[in-house]
Amino acid sequence: MGDDAAVPLLVVGGGIAGITAALEASEAGTPAIVVERSTHLGGRVAQLARYFPKLCPPTCGLEINYQRLRSNPDVTVYTDSTVLGLAGSPGHYRATIERRPRYVNERCTTCGACSSTCPAERPNAFDYGMSRTKAAYLPHQAAFPMRYAIDAEACLFDECGRCVEVCQYGAIDLHEQPVSIEVEVAAVVLATGWDPYDASAISNLGFGSDPDIVTNVMFERMAADDGPTGGRILRPSNGSEVGSVAFVQCAGSRDRLHLPYCSSICCLASLKEAALLAEKIPTASASVFYIDLRTPGTYELFANRVLSLPNLQATKGKVAEIRRTASKDKLEVVADDMVLGQMTTTAVDLVVLATGMVAAKGGIQEGWADAFGFVEAEIDGSGVFAAGCATGPSDVATATLGATAAAMRAIGVARAEAVAR
C-alpha cells in the first residue's frame, strides 16, 4: 500500500512501459495515475501475435500485469483520456486530464447485446483496418478494462438508440459528456510509445496499391488467433492460404528520404513472423530481404534458429520494386542481391514490409521531443522522465527496464517532496 502522504506520479501512456512504471512505483510506495488515450491498456504489445524470442502470446505477459493492477488500489487508470496541460515544478505539478465519453460505464458485463443490435459499423483499428466491428464494440478479446465502448464517429446516437434499449444493466449513456479532471502529481513518466511508419509513403514498395502487400504490424494481426483471419495466413486478395511470403527489411528505414534511423527490432520481428509462418504452414517458403541483419546479444541465438528453417532463404539485398507478375497471380520482388552482384526476381503470394517505428504524436511529450519526436529518458531537473518507445524504438525487455528506471527516478522526486513537507 502507498504512503497516504505520497504525492502520486503521472504516467502518460498505458502500454507495457507505462503499466510497468505505474506498478513498480506503486509497489514501492508511491501511487501512480495512468492516462491512456485509447479504450484499453497494453499499447502495441496487445496487438502482437507472439513475442520473440520465446514465441509466447503477449496476452500472458499483459494479463500478469493486469492482475497486479486489479489488486492494487494505488494505481488509478484513466482510459479514453489525454493530458491537456501540465503546470508547476518538480514535486508540485498540476495536470489537467480530459476523459472523453466512452458511452459505456462500469456496469457493462460484456454480454454483447449492444453490439448484436447495433446497425452501424467501423473499421477495426486494432486489426489495422483488416476487419470491421459494430459501432458498439469490445476493444479486443483480452482488453483491460474488459468493457465495451461506442465509437462516436460511427454511432447514429439518437437516430438509433437500440443499444440503450437492449442493455439490461443501464450501462449505456449516449449523452455522456467529456470530463475534466485536475490532479496534483510530483513527477511525470512519459510512456507514449510508437506508431508504425506510414508504408504508403514508400512509393516503390507498392503498399496501398495491392492488397497482398501488407506491413509487419498487419502480419502480426494476421497471425494472431484473435485476429481478422483467426490466425490463418491468407492472401488478402482472394482469401487463399499463402504458399510463399517475402519479408522486406528496412522498408523506409535507414533511408534519408524516410526514416534515417534503424528501428532495431524489425529484423527480429520479421524472423519471428517467418517462424510463425513455418509453424502455421510448414510447406510455405519465406524469403527475407535485408541490408544487414541486426539481432544483437542473445537474440542472435533466436535469429540463427529461425535462419536454419528449411524453407527460409535470406538474401542480402535491397528491394527495388514490388510488382505483379505478368500472369497477375503472384507478386514479384525485384532485389539488388549484394552477394551475387545482380538483380534477382522472386515470385511470392504475399509481401510483408518491415516498416519502422516512429514516435507517437499528439501529446504533452512533444514539448520535450527531439527532431524525430523521441524524448530523453531524463529531462534535467524537471521531474519529467521518459520510458519505453517514447525514448526511441526498442524491444519489450528494454522498454520495461527503462520503465522501471524512470519509475525509480520519479519516486526520488516524489519522496524528496514528501520529506520537505
Ligand X SMILES: Cc1cc2nc3c(=O)[nH]c(=O)nc-3n(C[C@H](O)[C@H](O)[C@H](O)COP(=O)(O)OP(=O)(O)OC[C@H]3O[C@@H](n4cnc5c(N)ncnc54)[C@H](O)[C@@H]3O)c2cc1C
| Residues of this chain that bind ligand X (CB under 6 A) | 12-18, 35-38, 43-45, 48, 51-52, 82, 191-194, 216-217, 220, 265, 269, 272, 357, 360, 362-363, 388-389, 394-397, 399
Cα separations in angstroms, 376 against 145, 228, 269, 387, 392: 30, 37, 25, 9, 9
Q: Residue 334 corresponds to which cell in the numbers above? A: 525485384
Query: Of 16 and 22, which CB lies nearer to ligand X in the complex structure?
Result: 16
Q: Distance (Å, rounded) from C-alpha 205 to C-alpha 248?
A: 9
Query: Of 265 and 375, which CB lies nearer to ligand X in the complex structure?
Result: 265
Q: How far is the CB of 398 from ligand X (least distance, A)?
A: 7
Going by their DSSP bridges, the two strands 81-89 and 92-99 should be labelled as: antiparallel
Query: Of 2 and 13, which CB lies nearer to ligand X in the complex structure?
Result: 13
Q: Is the CB of residue 170 less than 8 Å from the CB of residue 106?
A: no
Query: Of 39 and 244, which CB lies nearer to ligand X in the complex structure?
Result: 39
Q: Distance (Å, rounded) from C-alpha 304 to C-alpha 245?
A: 19
Q: What is the DSSP letter of 224?
A: S
Q: How far is the CB of 227 from ligand X (least distance, A)?
A: 13
Query: Of 48 and 136, which CB lies nearer to ligand X in the complex structure?
Result: 48
Q: Is the CB of residue 312 less than 8 Å from the CB of residue 258?
A: no
Q: What is the DSSP letter of 172?
A: B
Q: How far is the CB of 165 from ligand X (least distance, A)?
A: 32
Q: How far is the CB of 248 from ligand X (least distance, A)?
A: 13
Q: How far is the CB of 387 from ligand X (least distance, A)?
A: 7
What is the longest distance spanned by two Cα atoms in the chain? 76
Query: Of 170 and 367, which CB lies nearer to ligand X in the complex structure?
Result: 367
Query: Of 38 and 244, which CB lies nearer to ligand X in the complex structure?
Result: 38
Chain length of the chain: 421
Q: How far is the CB of 10 from ligand X (least distance, A)?
A: 11
Q: Distance (Å, rounded) from C-alpha 40 to C-alpha 141?
A: 11
Cα separations in angstroms, 344 against 157, 203, 289, 338: 55, 20, 11, 10
Cα separations in angstroms, 265 against 223, 261, 330, 372: 18, 12, 28, 17
Going by their DSSP bridges, the two strands 9-12 and 187-190 should be labelled as: parallel
Q: How far is the CB of 329 from ligand X (least distance, A)?
A: 27
Q: How far is the CB of 53 from ligand X (least distance, A)?
A: 8
Q: What is the DSSP letter of 361?
A: -
Q: How far is the CB of 191 from ligand X (least distance, A)?
A: 5
Q: Which of 233, 241, 318 is nearest to 277 (CA)?
A: 233
Query: Of 33 and 265, which CB lies nearer to ligand X in the complex structure?
Result: 265
Q: What is the DSSP letter of 377?
A: S
Sheet holding 32-35, edge to edge: 75-78, 32-35, 9-12, 187-190, 384-386, 378-379
Neighbours of 276 (CB within 10 A): 23
Query: Of 76 and 344, which CB lies nearer to ligand X in the complex structure?
Result: 76
